[in-house]
Amino acid sequence: MIRTRTFRALSICSSITLLKEECQIIESLLTRNGYPLNLVRRKIKNTIDQFKTTKTQKSPKKTFFVPITYHGHKTILMTNKIKSMIDRIYPMTNVIFGYRKGLSLSKLFIKNYKSTDPMNIGVIYKLTCIKCHKEYIGQTQFDVNHRMNQHKNGLKEEGKSTAADHILNNKDHEINFDRLEILASDNNKKRIEKEKQTVLRI
Ligand SMILES: [Zn+2]
Residues with CB under 5 A from ligand 1 (ion): 129, 131-132, 134, 173
Q: Where are the alpha helices (DSSP H) in the chain?
A: 2-12, 16-32, 37-58, 73-89, 105-112, 144-154, 162-169, 191-197
Has residue 31 got a pLDDT over 50? yes
How far, in Å, is the centroid of ligand 1 from the Cα of 59?
Answer: 71
Kindly give the pairing relationship between strand 135-143 and strand 181-185: unpaired
- pLDDT grade for 196, boundaries at 50, 70 and 90: low
Under the phi-then-psi rule, with left for phi > 0, alpha for psi from -120 to 50, and beta for the rest, what region is 66? beta
At residue 175, the pLDDT reads 94
pLDDT digits (tens, 9 = 90+) for 149-167: 999 999 999 998 999 999 9
CA angle, corner 72, sides to 67 and 74, nearest 5? 90
End-to-end CA distance of the chain: 93
Does pLDDT of 79 surpass 50? yes
Q: How far is the CA of 10 from the centre of ligand 1 (A)?
A: 87
Buried b / exposed e across 35-71, counting CB within 10 Å, b at 16+? beeeebbebbeebbeebeeeeeeeeeeeeeeeeeeee
Do 97 and 79 meet the contact criterion of CB atoms below 8 Å apart?
Answer: yes
All structural domains of the chain with their residue ranges: 2-58, 62-101, 108-197
Q: What's the confidence (pLDDT) of residue 167?
A: 95
Q: Mean pLDDT over residues 173-185, rounded?
A: 88
What is the per-residue pLDDT across 82-134, written as a single tens digit (0 to 9) for each?
A: 888 888 888 888 888 777 666 555 554 544 444 456 667 778 889 999 999 99
How far apart are the C-alpha atoms of 147 and 34, rounded to whole Å? 93
Distance 155 CA to ligand 1 centre (A): 14
Mean pLDDT computed over every residue of the chain: 79
This prediction's pTM: 0.38
- Distant-in-sequence, close-in-space partners of 74: CB < 8 Å, separation ≥ 6: none
Residue 58: the pLDDT is 58
Helix (H) or strand (E) holding 113: none
Find, among 73, 39, 181, the residue nearest to 120 by Cα.
Answer: 181
Best-predicted range by mean pLDDT (17-21, 139-143, 168-172, 186-190): 168-172
For residue 194, report the distance from its CA to the centre of ligand 1, in Å. 24
Ligand 1 centroid distance, CA of 200 (Å): 14
Angstrom distance (rounded) from CA 84 to CA 103: 28
